[in-house]
Amino acid sequence: MPRTSHRIAFALFIIVVATPAVLAVIMALLPLQTVIRSSQYIVVAKIEKVYPEKPAMLLNVEDDLKGKLPYRKLPVHLKGDSEADKLNHVPQLLKRLANDMPIILFVEEKDKKLTALAYTNGTWMQLVGDKTGADTAVWSLTHGEPYLRRTFKGPTAELKSLLIDVLAGKKRAPEIDKKESPGFGPEVAGN
């Protein structure tokens, strides 16, 4: 990808991550390397509990891959924004989330605001958070990110392994798969 394209993708990522008012579904090509570079923190969490009736989930951070996220328990309200409502994202995402499932968060922190791209087994979504204390924050789903399947779409364990190698300088992040159709990963059995 030409250097200019990387700059445009990086600028788009920063706008989406750093500006809560710009919370539209990301349709532009966004290379995984740009997501990695732009993230202050990259963590692997486990979904402790999904509460479909609320809808909400509770995440426990288990592994810091980049930086040390001060928030270890992450309550996430899964109502979604108007974009999620219009595109029916919440019911689709709930079918792809389950207790004890790993989820990777790419987090950017600015002042008291947090923005994250979350990934699990082919499904991307965007979360925003508000700091409530030095080591606490409350999170909300904005919407799913179906176009980010072009960025990465494999199993969560594969992405974790890849991130470890990329951050250690052993591998390069894969290029965009321009042919990948938008969507979400497979539904969890029993959901």
* pLDDT per residue as tens digits for the range 65-85: 999 999 999 999 999 999 999
Residue 136 domain flag? yes
Residues 100-116 have a mean pLDDT of 94
Per-residue pLDDT at 166 exceeds 50: yes
pTM: 0.86
By residue range, what is the domain housing residue 149? 3-167
In a domain, 178, yes or no: no
- Per-residue pLDDT at 20 exceeds 50: no
Is there a domain that residue 120 lies in? yes
CA angle 166, 105, 108 (to 5 degrees): 90
Whether 132 is covered by a domain: the verdict is yes
Q: How confident is the model at residue 24 (pLDDT cuts 50, 70, 90)?
A: low
Looking at the 3D structure of the chain, how many domains does it have? 1
| Strands 102-110 and 123-133, bridge-based pairing | unpaired
111 in a domain, yes or no? yes
Tell me the three state secondary structure of residue 158: helix
| Residue 180 counted as domain residue | no
Residue 80 located in a structural domain: yes
Q: Is 85 contained in some domain?
A: yes
